[in-house]
Structure 1
Amino acid sequence: MSATATSSWSASRSGRRVIETAYEVFGDLRIPGLALTAGAAGVLPASAVAAIAAAKQLQDLLLAGGMFGLGTGVRLRELARTGAKPLVLGPASWALIASAAYIGVRVTS
């Protein structure tokens, strides 16, 4: 095992890497929203708001590309060999999440 892999493993074991990863994920979701809100309040100049909006669109495009890449790595024959449980669990979990979202929208509006 290399020194890099060892240090990466020890950092994740201590919890530091987990916190950094959580901050990266939630920071990506929170920072553009706060910046656009600050722009609407007049705190940021319009050029900064436009740049942040463009960066957000680029982020969404790259996320879609990554998801496409993950989808192309699915081996359908191996998935079919695993049995019916995963093939039923996927649509069932999607329906549960979609129903919860629909109910949430109906309740709040």
Structure 2
Amino acid sequence: MKSAHLSLLALGGLLLLGNAQADEALAKAKNCMSCHQVAVKVLGPAYKDVAAKYKGDAGAVDKLAAKIKAGGKGVWGEVPMPPNNVTPDEAKKLATWVLSLK
């Protein structure tokens, strides 16, 4: 029985890891990584910095998804982020992934 529980925990961990990798792959496919990286500021802020800024903000996923979809300017400096060609579902997946980074 103990090994069954451990197997389920391992499977759950792999599924979570798989989702995170899929969401990072989506960020790469949508060219987000041209201006952002996980841990280092490039043209835009590092995703870990974005996650830290919005930590504890219950509305952060929706706020970031809207910015990903429509673009934005002024929160992280004067360089604008252009609108991105993503569906609302993709924008929400990307926002959720960014906010999960620590």
Using structure 2 for the length normalisation, give the TM-score: 0.32
Which structure is higher in RCO with an 8 Å CA cutoff and minimum separation 6?
Answer: 2
Please report the TM-score for the alignment, with normalisation by the length of structure 1.
Answer: 0.30
Structure with a larger share of its residues in helix = 1
**Bigger-Rg structure (1/2):** 1
